[in-house]
Amino acid sequence: MNMNTKNKVALITGGSRGLGRNMAINIAKKGIDVVITYHNNKTEADKVVAEIQALGQKAAAFQLDTSNIKLFDGFIKELTTYLDKETGSPNFDILVNNAGTGFYGAFTEATEEQFDAALNIHFKGVFFLTQKALPYINDGGRIINISSGLARFSFPGSSVYASMKSAIETLTRYLAVELGPRKIAVNVVAPGAIATDFGGGHVRDNKETNQRIASLTALGRVGEADDIGGVVAFLSTEDARWINGQRIEVSGGMML
């Protein structure tokens, strides 16, 4: 176990599957204890916890709908009570704002309900969960927000989702400046198209989509969850201490 990070704790939202699961396991491999949130799949969340514990790190999972801001005070209380009991401090070191859902639809057909749902989970929820968590993030800690390649390049059908991710990228830069006095580094990771069950698994399961993305990617294939988790884990370590306010796209070179 890495002695420099053995007492560090990371909180990863949406950590029961897909990219979040991969991030959680890769962060644990760096010798960091992990707390994940899950929306409704407790069985999968418990599997992730067991996998992290098998690596020799502490792990726990808490249910949270990250689009419902009214739940955040209760969640923070539950989280800090757990941390206090397990570590002797209510504080943690790394916040990874990963939870999200896919929404695909033409701009002309997007409804206000769909817009608000995307806003709540991808931007408003991230904004206020970070705000409420901040008193418990140790000075010198990290915040890692998850965006998307779609904030840089445009595929029809992603105007709502990509607009929220653009907001996250701007917020990341502001947080980096405003939290600088506390030596908290804030960065954003923007995955390209990834073959997971995200957005109904359309990248993974639709052969035509898969081939089209591979043809637009310099490295010639669609991304896998394993391509992303290690980058987020790296940003959680001391090796990444001087990276701040940056957008790191992890897309294999899509649409260059």
Give catalytic residue positions.
161
- State the Cα torsion 145-147-152-156 to the nearest 10°: -160
Instruction: Assess contact for 36 and 24: CB atoms under 8 A.
Output: yes
* CA dihedral (125, 128, 130, 132) positive or negative: negative
Instruction: Assess contact for 169 and 125: CB atoms under 8 A.
Output: no
- CA 217 vs. chain centroid, Å, equals 23
Residue 151: C-alpha distances to residues 27, 204, 250 (Å): 25, 20, 13
Residue 129: C-alpha distances to residues 6, 81, 120, 136, 200 (Å): 25, 17, 11, 12, 26
> The tokens 């808490």 sit on which residue?
62
* CA dihedral (103, 106, 111, 115) positive or negative: positive
